[in-house]
Chain A
Amino acid sequence: DGGITQSPKYLFRKEGQNVTLSCEQNLNHDAMYWYRQDPGQGLRLIYYSQIVNDFQKGDIAEGYSVSREKKESFPLTVTSAQKNPTAFYLCASSIIGEKLFFGSGTQLSVL
């Protein structure tokens, strides 16, 4: 079954801690994306990557970091510099120029 897998489903972060959200796809898509959704709001782009070993900042990249060492994987690290990390995080992938397919999301909360 082809798709996008995000893990974990729920994640808790302590003060000053970095946490990493996993995103894996087996759709053979070149492009991958991270979005953040806050309650009652739309999706905001954090980072995106259109090719391995290259990625670009989105609208709200501060306090986040990513890597793209493999085509299938695009992990997102929420660093301690992100002061308001509580949100629903969505990973997506696509063939460049075509529609995005989303994973099922990770809910990050602060302890």
Chain B
Amino acid sequence: DQQVKQNSPSLSVQEGRISILNCDYTNSMFDYFLWYKKYPAEGPTFLISISSIKDKNEDGRFTVFLNKSAKHLSLHIVPSQPGDSAVYFCAASNNAGNMLTFGGGTRLMVKP
């Protein structure tokens, strides 16, 4: 049973527009959420995180929104740039340790 789901396997966006990547989770014990970005044949790199005591966290062009009641989080990238083209993974953990459960990833393509 997938506890973290990214229902859109791919997303295509025009350069300069907003990219919105979505993630749903089922485990109500999750209280820390992260987004990782991955290029082909490389390891994922940490992008941004949010704890369950917040509903928004912003870092430059990247903003993560958390809706605990809906068990949903989203990553907004604005403005999108061609270099943002990568696979984005949502991950979640609880405070029992930092065992991350990953979603299946969304491939973002930003067209010039």
- CB of A2 within 8 A of chain B? no
If A101-B46, A104-B42 touch, does A48 touch B89 (CB 8 Å cutoff)? Answer: no
Report whether A90 and B43 are in contact in the complex, using a CB–CB cutoff of 8 Å. yes
* CB contacts between A and B, total, < 8 Å: 55
Report whether A42 and B41 are in contact in the complex, using a CB–CB cutoff of 8 Å. no
Say what secondary structure dominates the interface of chain B: loop
Interface centre among B42, B46, B99, by most A CB within 10 Å?
B99
Residues on the B chain within 8 Å of A50, using CB: 97
Residues on the A chain within 8 Å of B41, using CB: 88, 104-105, 107
Q: Give the shortest distance, in Å, between B110 (CB) and chain A (any CB).
A: 20
Contact of B43 among A44, A97, A103 (CB under 8 A): A103
- CB of A87 within 8 A of chain B? no
Tally of A interface residues using CB under 8 Å = 27
Q: Contact string, A40-69, partner B, CB cutoff 8 A, digits 1/0?
A: 111111001010000000000000000000
Q: Tell me the B residues contacting A by CB distance below 8 Å.
A: 4, 6, 9, 34, 36, 41-46, 49, 89, 95, 97-100, 102-105
